[in-house]
């Protein structure tokens, strides 16, 4: 009986680690030297990467006799995928040779010693110069070396339903110039179509990184002079920011006025499925902020095929707070391929990555996963430019885009921001209280010497 | 006299003879058990304690080279307003679903089963035990399906014209208490049925002759007689409930905000979502202490009761 309290502790902290780590524990074995294990994310609504890697596996195995590529998809949300990957990277017994890695984890995983330095290999790969300069930096560690190769990038824009805006008397094509324009349009939609959700923006920890990338940062980076989370020049995190309070206040308004989905739906990690699977196709939503990859949900073979989307939907840049310059705000991220620092087949691992990223495969992936191309030859390809009606507008958003301060403190700070949004939309804290709690959390995470008051 | 004396003597000598002559051999069967305890019980405890004194993280520099930071994690934890909230929620969850829910309901069912008809007790028994037999993850999904915004409960309420709230969002703590009560009551019920069967009939009968009513018999005869079972069962269900994770994670993920974050959920969130393994370990240590406090309370009550009877 006395054993039970310890079982309690073991369950929560040790067993979980073992179980989670164990999920991929059988995968890292490549002692025979000719097996390349590849870990990546695959879900019902995200199969493009699985198809890409399967193609690359066939090509690679045909070119390299005796070599086996072992694909190990993980079905999980992005957050859980990250946790499981990091747990398996912690030990040479469980680390995969090649894996799919979010750009925002690159720096912290480099610091943890998980990623293989690719500089030497890239020097001998002539196609590397095809990649555009900004994309090359996405996989850089703080030491300036490259540790991960970009699969594509993305931007964020407003996706709006023209039928809903038309019915509300909002002029289409729509381009809001300030936050107030969004609220005005939302009020008109609510007045004319009571059953429609006027303008949704993600909030809370349920939607994880989506909350900040496709909602909060569009607001935050459009306040003041656009400094956002992190002051690059000072190398410090921004606290006591009026922009932070204003951004939270805007979310609070959206939710309390009933312009967004109800708070309990917002906290459901799968709310986006309702947004793109039901609400937009059924004219039940005015607009939302989402990534440039959105058409991949609606394309044939996507999660929610919707042939008419090109006619019904429109895109607009997210405006700055009061319409101050630049003309809009976007955020960019993207995913990469990286190799484990623990791999015993580094040469094969790198060669496999270059197979995945060759021109033919990159073009296929850019089109089928609606990525913004990072190879200049792919970006100039006519089939890429015609892939969907929105390739042009979402690529233009690159001009006003921002990148997250993806250093090793960032993942924790991101969660603190998500918690602030959740506290505000559920009414647990006011915008000012939530912002103050965020300031405390940042000081806790990075220390007083690494913050700057704005 | 003469027959009793030698008999006692031989018993004593035989017992002491065995213990003196074969001590190593007798200890042998304990070795596997002792080894298991050491590996699976002392090991994790020591590991958790040590981990809670480091700043180990899932990624970043602190993953590559974790530092020993002494009690810093605990200082931070005790200054964190989430900790008292989480301890409060954990205690409410344990008191609500284990002590009141599972125990009282289990006892009531066990008592009713003694007086109910065989067919009724059979059916109810199967229904209750089914919840207990289900794996926790399945029970959790059933709980979610029952209490979510468009779940079974609200569908039934809609049938009679009531629009139910999203229980998981509006009353998260109540929702997980109900689900855990539903899941765990069968265990208590079975323990109490066995205990009630052990209460000698003649004691009950003689009390009836003395004119005791049903309530008096339960309060004055039955409950005191099954007292050791009650405390044992309380301890088991308490410790089991203290470690519930899957049920809560599936149903509410500890939210909204932190409103259903019990200590296991908080430890998981800190360790694996925020990647702060050291801090998560510190929370696990607090959980360990909370479990010990409950256990010691029960053991002392049990001893106190035992010495009186």
Phi-psi domain of A46 (left: phi exceeds 0; alpha: psi -120 through 50; beta: other) = beta
The reported pTM is: 0.79
**Looking at the predicted structure, is the pLDDT value of residue B6 above 50?**
no
Task: List, for residues B225-259, the tens digit of each pLDDT value.
Answer: 999 899 999 999 999 999 999 999 999 888 787 88
Q: Strands A35-41, A68-74: parallel, antiparallel or unpaired by DSSP?
A: parallel
Contact predicate A60/A337, CB 8 Å: no
Q: What average pLDDT does range B258-283 have in this prediction?
A: 91
Name the helix (H) or strand (E) containing A287: strand A285-291
**Looking at the predicted structure, is the pLDDT value of residue B210 above 90?**
no
Residue of B nearest to A267 (CA): B256
Six token digits for residue B149: 């915004």
More confident residue, B89 or B197: B89
* 8 Å CB contact of A111 and B76: no
Task: List, for residues A399-429, the tens digit of each pLDDT value.
Answer: 888 888 878 788 789 989 999 999 999 999 9
- Give the residue carrying structure tokens 């015993």: A344
Residue B84 burial (CB count, 10 A) = 10
Cα torsion B182, B186, B187, B191 to 10°: value is 140
Six token digits for residue A310: 């090109």
What pLDDT score was predicted for residue A33?
52
Residue of A nearest to B236 (CA): A1
What pLDDT score was predicted for residue B208?
86
Phi-psi domain of A197 (left: phi exceeds 0; alpha: psi -120 through 50; beta: other) = beta
Question: How crowded is the C-beta side of B92, counted as CA atoms within 13 Å?
Answer: 17
Q: What average pLDDT does range A74-91 have in this prediction?
A: 90
Among A120-124, A250-254, A373-377, B201-205, the range scoring the smallest mean pLDDT is B201-205
Report the C-alpha gap between A20 and B58 in whole angstroms. Answer: 12
Q: What average pLDDT does range B195-215 have in this prediction?
A: 87
Among B57-61, B70-74, B177-181, B259-263, the range scoring the smallest mean pLDDT is B57-61
What pLDDT score was predicted for residue B142?
93
Interface-testing mutation among B86, B275, B280, B287, with chain A (most A C-beta atoms within 10 A): B275
Dihedral sign computed on CA atoms, order B226, B232, B237, B242: positive
Among A132-136, A358-362, A393-397, B186-190, the range scoring the smallest mean pLDDT is A132-136
Strand order in the sheet with A236-239: A230-231, A236-239, A451-453
**Which residue in the set A8, A109, A205 is minimally distant from B242, CB to CB?**
A8
What pLDDT score was predicted for residue B174?
95
What pLDDT score was predicted for residue A19?
37
* 8 Å CB contact of B281 and A13: yes
Give every CB contact of residue B209 below 8 A, 6+ residues apart in sequence.
none
Q: Which phi and psi (to 5°) does residue A51 adopt?
A: -65, -45
What pLDDT score was predicted for residue A320?
96
Task: List, for residues A18-62, the tens digit of each pLDDT value.
Answer: 333 333 334 444 445 589 999 999 988 788 899 999 999 999 999
What pLDDT score was predicted for residue B149?
84
**Looking at the predicted structure, is the pLDDT value of residue A91 above 90?**
no
**Which residue in the set B48, B166, B257 is minimally distant from A423, CB to CB?**
B257
Question: How crowded is the C-beta side of A448, counted as CA atoms within 13 Å?
Answer: 0
Task: List, for residues A240-249, the tens digit of each pLDDT value.
Answer: 999 999 999 9
Any A CB within 8 A of B281 CB? yes
Residue of A nearest to B293 (CA): A5
**Looking at the predicted structure, is the pLDDT value of residue A6 above 50?**
no
Any A CB within 8 A of B284 CB? yes
Residue A144 burial (CB count, 10 A) = 8
What is the percent of chain B where pLDDT is above 70? 91
Complex ipTM, two decimals? 0.75
């Amino acid at each position: 009986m006395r054993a039970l309290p310890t079982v309690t502790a073991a369950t929560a902290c040790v067993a979980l680690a073992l179980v989670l780590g164990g999920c991929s524990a059988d995968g890292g074995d490549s002692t025979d030297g000719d097996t390349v294990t590849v870990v990546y994310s695959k879900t019902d609504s995200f199969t493009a990467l699985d198809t890409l890697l399967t193609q690359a596996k066939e090509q690679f195995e045909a070119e390299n006799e005796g070599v086996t590529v072992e694909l190990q998809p993980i079905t999980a949300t992005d957050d859980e995928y990250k946790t499981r990957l990091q747990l398996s990277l912690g030990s040479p017994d469980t680390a995969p040779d090649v894996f799919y890695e979010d750009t925002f984890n690159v720096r912290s995983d480099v610091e943890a010693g998980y990623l293989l330095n690719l500089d030497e290999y890239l020097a001998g790969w002539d196609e590397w110069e095809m990649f555009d300069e900004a994309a090359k930096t996405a996989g850089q560690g703080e030491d300036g070396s490259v540790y991960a190769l970009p699969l594509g990038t993305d931007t964020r824009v407003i996706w709006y339903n023209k039928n809903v805006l038309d019915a509300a008397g909002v002029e289409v094509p729509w381009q809001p110039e300030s936050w107030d324009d969004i609220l005005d349009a939302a009020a008109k939609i609510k007045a004319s179509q009571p059953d429609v959700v006027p303008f949704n923006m993600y909030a809370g920890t349920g939607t994880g990184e989506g909350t900040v990338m496709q909602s909060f940062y569009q607001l935050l980076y459009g306040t003041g002079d656009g400094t956002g989370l992190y002051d690059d020049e000072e190398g410090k995190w921004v606290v006591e920011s009026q922009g932070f309070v204003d951004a939270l206040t805007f979310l609070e308004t959206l939710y309390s006025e009933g312009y967004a989905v109800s708070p309990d739906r917002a906290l459901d990690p799968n709310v986006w499925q309702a947004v793109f699977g039901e609400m937009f196709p059924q004219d039940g939503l005015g607009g939302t902020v989402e990534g440039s990859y959105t058409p991949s949900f609606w394309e044939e073979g996507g999660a929610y095929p919707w042939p008419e989307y090109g006619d019904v939907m429109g895109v607009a840049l997210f405006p700055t707070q009061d319409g101050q310059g630049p003309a809009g705000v976007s955020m960019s991220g993207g995913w990469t391929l990286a190799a484990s620092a623990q791999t015993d087949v580094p040469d094969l691992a790198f060669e496999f990555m270059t197979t995945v990223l060759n021109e033919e495969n990159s073009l296929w992936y850019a089109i089928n996963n609606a990525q913004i191309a990072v190879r200049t030859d792919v970006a100039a390809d006519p089939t890429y430019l015609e892939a969907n009606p929105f390739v042009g507008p979402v690529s233009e958003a690159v001009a006003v885009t921002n990148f997250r301060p993806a250093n090793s403190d960032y993942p924790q700070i991101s969660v603190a921001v998500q918690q602030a949004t959740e506290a505000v939309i559920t009414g647990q804290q006011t915008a000012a209280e939530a912002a103050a709690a965020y300031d405390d959390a940042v000081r806790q995470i990075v220390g007083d010497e690494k913050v700057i008051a704005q | 006299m003469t027959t009793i004396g030698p008999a006692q003597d031989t018993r004593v000598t035989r017992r002491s003879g065995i213990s003196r002559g074969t001590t190593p051999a007798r200890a042998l069967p304990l070795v596997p058990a002792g080894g298991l305890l050491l590996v699976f019980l002392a090991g994790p405890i020591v590991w958790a304690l040590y981990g809670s004194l480091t700043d180990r993280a899932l990624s970043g520099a602190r993953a590559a080279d974790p530092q020993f930071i002494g009690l810093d994690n605990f200082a931070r934890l005790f200054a964190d307003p989430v900790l008292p909230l989480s301890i409060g929620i954990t205690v409410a969850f344990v008191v609500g679903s284990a002590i009141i829910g599972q125990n009282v309901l289990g006892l009531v069912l066990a008592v009713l089963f003694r007086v109910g008809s065989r067919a009724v007790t059979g059916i109810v028994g199967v229904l209750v035990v089914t919840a207990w037999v289900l794996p926790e993850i399945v029970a959790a999904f059933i709980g979610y399906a029952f209490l979510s915004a468009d779940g079974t409960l609200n569908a039934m309420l809609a049938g009679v014209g009531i629009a139910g709230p999203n229980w998981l969002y509006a009353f998260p703590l109540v929702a997980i208490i109900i689900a855990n009560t539903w899941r765990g009551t069968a265990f208590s019920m079975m323990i109490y049925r066995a205990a009630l069967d052990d209460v000698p009939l003649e004691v009950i009968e003689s009390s009836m002759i003395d004119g005791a009513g049903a309530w008096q018999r339960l309060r004055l005869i039955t409950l005191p007689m099954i007292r050791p079972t009650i405390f044992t069962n309380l301890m088991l269900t308490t410790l089991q409930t203290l470690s519930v994770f899957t049920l809560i994670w599936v149903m509410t993920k500890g939210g909204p905000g932190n409103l259903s974050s019990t200590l296991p959920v908080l430890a998981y969130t800190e360790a694996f979502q925020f990647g702060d393994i050291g801090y998560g370990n510190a929370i696990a240590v607090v959980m360990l202490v909370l479990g010990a406090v409950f256990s010691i309370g029960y053991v002392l009550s049990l001893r106190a009761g035992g010495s009186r009877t």
